[in-house]
A and B are shown apart, each in its own frame.
Chain A
């Protein structure tokens, strides 16, 4: 819960800076399927913390009307 509330705020602040993106569900699913394997990739992060949100972010190429 804590993570996704923070993620929403960052996402919306990103939009106000003209940055856009989308949430990837598959990388979160990877954490759910094998958290231990995923945490070995992030040795600086306490393994008790789960990957709760993944936001693919960047400058938009397409303009919406």
Chain B
């Protein structure tokens, strides 16, 4: 039994607690509130984006306000009195921190972003599974609509060439509009005819992000990409793999029978150990127009 569980012999007891509209707070199911330690400070109810917490007799109770399990109530509670029923083993992921401590100064992050380059030249070493498990943690920290947390990751490695054949079958219809797709066709016919792979360059592994919504998938992909760069890895986003999904999602989904077919391939990041030592300076970029409305 963890420390939180040990402290709550009976979270809400047998006593019925009625919220102002008459509903029974003991029947709500998203939160476990330690009424022994709750001091009724209202921080949880102020933080809750769904109005799912109220104070009754000086302690926090659920109101049934469409909780999305975001955990903001856990994060603000000064007495560590709240847990989510959705995460019965989640205590190991809860840790205190000092919000005022500056982890990354803005100028450091901006410098990091300015130095970042899309990397297409890699060593022959493939990344081990542990590396992808580390990147998976960054995806887990990513926001999703209604906190759905429905992002799924796929590492294309041993079956990468099989999948590229599927991609070619789909995107070849567009080879007249895109010379890169034509080059890809040449590579499919005769790999020796190309100096490097037209879609992967020297890449050997692709980290794919699937999600129902494009924003959920890409926000997670962006976090994994930045964590990868901070770990000295490199890569680039391929537009052609998501394009294949856009053109014929059914065919792409067939290749991944373990995935929910409602989830689309939103991002494909070709990743690896970069051949180092050749990026020496930042390069000019156009600033995107900023309109104020």
Nearest-Cβ distance from residue A30 to partner chain B, whole angstroms: 13
Nearest residue (CB) in B for A45 is B291
Instruction: With A1-B239, A4-B214, A23-B215 as known contacts, state yes or no: A64 contacts B76, CB within 8 Å.
Output: yes
Q: In whole angstroms, how far apart are the Cα atoms of A22 and B267 in the complex?
A: 21
Interface footprint category on A = 20 to 34
Which residues of chain A come closer than 8 Å to B106, judged between CB atoms?
13, 16-17
User: Does B46 sit within 8 A of A, measured CB to CB?
Assistant: yes
Contact A64 B75 (CB under 8 A): yes
How many Å lie between the Cα of A25 and that of B108 in the bound state? 30
Of all chain B residues, the one with the shortest Cβ separation from A25 is B145
Is B176 among interface residues, defined by CB-CB distance under 8 A? Answer: no
Q: A13-B113, A16-B109 are in contact. Are A4 and B218 (CB under 8 A)?
A: yes
State the majority secondary structure of interface residues on B. Answer: helix
Q: How many angstroms from the CA of A58 to the CA of B229 in the assembled complex?
A: 28
A64 touching B72, Cβ below 8 Å: yes
Determine if A52 and B143 form an interchain contact, defined as CB atoms under 8 angstroms apart.
Answer: no
The residues of A that contact B239 with a CB separation of less than 8 Å are 1
State the Cβ distance, A23 to closest chain B Cβ, in Å.
Answer: 6
Chain A nearest Cβ from B9, distance in angstroms: 25
Instruction: Determine the chain B residues whose CB is within 8 A of the CB of A22 once the complex forms.
Output: 143
CB contacts (< 8 Å) of B96 on chain A: these are 65
The contact size tier of chain B is 35 or more
| Contact bitstring B83-111, A, C-beta under 8 A = 1, else 0 | 00000000000001101001111101110
Assess whether B99 is in contact with A64, with CB atoms less than 8 Å apart.
yes
Judge if A8 is at the interface, Cβ distance under 8 Å.
Answer: yes
When distances are taken between beta carbons in the complex, the residues of chain B under 8 Å from A25 are 145-146, 213, 215
Interface residues of A in 1-28 (CB under 8 A from B): 1, 4-9, 12-13, 16-17, 22-23, 25, 28
Residues on B with C-beta less than 8 A from A12 are 109, 226
Q: Is A44 an interface residue (CB 8 A)?
A: yes
Residue of A nearest to B143 (CB): A23
Q: In whole angstroms, how far apart are the Cα atoms of A33 and B8 in the complex?
A: 48
Q: List 19 A-B contacts (CB under 8 A).
A: A4-B215, A5-B222, A6-B288, A7-B219, A8-B223, A13-B106, A13-B110, A23-B143, A23-B219, A25-B213, A28-B215, A42-B291, A42-B293, A44-B289, A45-B291, A53-B215, A62-B72, A63-B76, A64-B72
What are the 5 A-B residue pairs with the smallest beta carbon separation, nearest first? A8-B222, A4-B218, A25-B145, A16-B106, A64-B75
